[in-house]
Structure 1
Amino acid sequence: MQPSQDQQDLFSLIQHDGGDNSISRRRFLHTALGAGFAAAALPVCAQTMITTPDTGLVTGQFSVDVQGQAVPVYLAKPAKGSNFPVILVTSEIFGVHAHIADVARRFAQAGYLAVAPDLFVRQGNPAAYPTIAELISQVINKVPDQQVMQDLDAVLAWTKTQGGDISRAAITGFCWGGRITWLYAAHNPSIRAGVAWYGRLTGNQSALNPQHPVDIAAGLRVPVLGLYGAKDTGIPLSSVEAMQKALAQGKSQSAFHVYPDSGHAFHADYRPSYMEADARDGWQRCLQWLRDHQAV
């Protein structure tokens, strides 16, 4: 069976080569939630990879029951205090690996209760697939948006038991999770803000993916900041422009910042696509967006 156009487009977003700074596949295979990397994400660039300490934090893997399904989550929060603002961290197709856990710790160091749920748990383990094409066809393309919304709702509610203040909740996500960020902001208007990192904006509609961000833009009420790269070959600027036009019909006060010299995955410090200056700027814009919209 030939891959669909959406499959081909998603595959083009995440191609990479190792280069001289890559780390061996054997060393970095994913072993547990928040540790290692999926085989399909390798090789890893060690010299640019950021490691955020867990000093002063509570971190670890937990489980949230969603209608009888145990959904694993990686949690990071300050060790002292309570009533923390909550941020949902939605992963790339590679799942909750070391980089996503590190992003959660970065938010925790900034005062958030950050949770990164395994949103693929019913369909399969991303670490088990050796290639991106197999991962997409065997796992990613079988995940219903409705299931993801349901899981995020349950995980967000669960954070109350861990000291989270869900009246100050936000969501962020990368690539696959960037698209989910836009959709969840439309699904749950009670969250304060979203930050979508190079998430797909358009696509073919299907039973599992009945809408895409451009389809919900006009009715969006939650302010979402989109951080995108002008050289992203999988997400052309024309789709960003289409999203901006659709957003202009609504009242969400959402916005975009496009980095002219970056392509896809410019924030992924473990990959050759990483652009340090733009990643750092994007991180500061992310935190400021959350502050501006009282998600702190």
Structure 2
Amino acid sequence: MAAVQISTGGSTIPAYLATPLPTVSGPGPWPGVVVVHDVFGLSDDIRSIADRFATAGYLAVVPDLYSRGGAVRCVRSVMRDLRQARGRAFDDVDAAREFLQDRADCTGKVGVAGFCLGGGFAIVGATRGFDASAPYYGQLPTDPSILDEACPVVASFGAKDPGLRGAASELAAELARRDIPHDVKEYPDAGHGFANRLPLGPFNALARVVGFGYHHDSSEDAWKRVLTFFAEHLRSGDHPA
């Protein structure tokens, strides 16, 4: 596990790289996964998620989308890019994919997984050269036509998430309409952020009241679905890049 730099737009941004252990996952090369962080940025939680992908045999990288300027400025810029479904943040995600594809220890097949803010990027990113996409409670694009020619999608939502009511069924319908392979599930006992272990401290109780917080059973089931889906779409026909 290491800090790395990714070339993008004539400069570089920091990222976290999690590499599988050859003693556990074989000597490689391995498929890749770009993990897009949530609104809290490149946190210990998102690093642990990348580590879990590495333990499952995926070369995982998390680009720091907040690395240019102050935190407030970066959050506004990244959220603006997500609303417009284009911009520098998407270029950074694309650069992270290319970073993995260019590595000798990557098979060339790369998926994208995103959480909250990153889930929205994973949904749009399904149309930007990835081989599979795993959005968690991501905001749906306002124009569903952006899903034309999307890669296979495995998506996870919480029924107790007040900001994304109906999103799971809407996304499933749009993907089915386009004959895109998909697995979309809404967890009845989960809310927003159910797969993230965030240090909310004294705000944990309030977070659960408003439909936010980690839910172990839903998170573990989503992990099983994502890894099964990624194995089907990223590991079939493995070949060196």
Q: TM-score range by the shorter chain?
A: 0.7 to 0.9
CA distance in 1, matches of 2:235, 2:135: 15
Q: Is the 8 A contact 2:122 2:133 kept in 1?
A: yes
The aligned residue for residue 63 of structure 1 is 5
Distance 1:148 1:113 in 2: 21
* C-alpha distance in 2 between matches for 1:115 and 1:258: 27
1:11-46 deviation per Cα after TM superposition (whole angstroms, max 9, x unaligned): xxxxxxxxxxxxxxxxxxxxxxxxxxxxxxxxxxxx
Equivalent of residue 103 in structure 1, options 33, 39, 49? 49
CA contact (8 A) 2:67 2:74 kept: no
- The match for 2:96 among 128, 149, 155 is 155
The structure 1 residue matched to 2:75, chosen from 122, 127, 140, is 140
Secondary structure of the corresponding residue to residue 178 of structure 2: coil
Deviation at 1:151, TM superposition (A): 1.5
After TM superposition, list the pairs within 5 Å mapping 1:30-109 onto structure 2.
59-80=1-22, 81-109=27-55
TM-score (norm 2): 0.81
Aligned mates of 1:87, 1:62 — CA distance in 2: 15
Q: Which amino acid aligns with 1:193?
A: A
Q: Secondary structure at the match of 1:155?
A: helix
| Corresponding letter in the other structure for 2:214 | Y
Could you list the structure 1 runs, at least 4 aligned residues long, displaced by more than 3 angstroms after superposition: none
Aligned in 2, Cα 1:164/1:141: closer, same or farther, shift over 3 Å? same
Does the Cα contact within 8 Å between 2:153 and 2:182 map onto a contact in 1?
yes
CA contact (8 A) 1:192 1:222 kept: yes
**TM value normalised by structure 1:** 0.67
Cα separation, 1, equivalents of 2:56 and 2:170: 34
Q: Number of aligned pairs?
A: 213
1:282 to 222, 231, 239: 222
Following the alignment from structure 1 to structure 2, what is the Cα–Cα distance between the partners of residues 111 and 245?
31
The answer (yes or no) to whether the contact 1:192–1:295 under 8 Å persists in 2 is: no
Q: Secondary structure at the match of 2:19?
A: strand
RMSD over aligned CA atoms reads: 1.9
Indicate the residue corresponding to 1:263 in structure 2. 191
Higher helix share: 2
Which residue, 152, 171, 180 being the options, matches 1:223? Answer: 152
How many percent of aligned residue pairs carry the same amino acid? Answer: 29
Is the counterpart of residue 247 in structure 1 residue 193 in structure 2? no
Mark the runs of 5 or more structure 2 residues left unpaired by the alignment. Answer: 205-212, 237-241
8 Å contact from structure 1 (residues 170, 295) kept in 2: no
Distance 1:139 1:148, change over 3 A: closer
Deviation larger for 60-69 or 170-179:
60-69
Flag the structure with larger Rg.
1
Match of 1:176 in 2: 117
| Cα distance in 2 for residues equivalent to 1:236 and 1:79 | 40
Q: CA deviation at 1:170?
A: 0.6
**Aligned equivalents of 1:155 and 1:251: distance in 2?**
28
What secondary structure sits across from 1:182 in the alignment? Answer: helix
Alpha-carbon shift at residue 123 of structure 1 (Å): 4.7
Contact 1:221 1:251 (8 Å CA) reproduced: no
CA distance in 1, matches of 2:42, 2:49: 10
Tell me the residue number matched to 2:208.
none
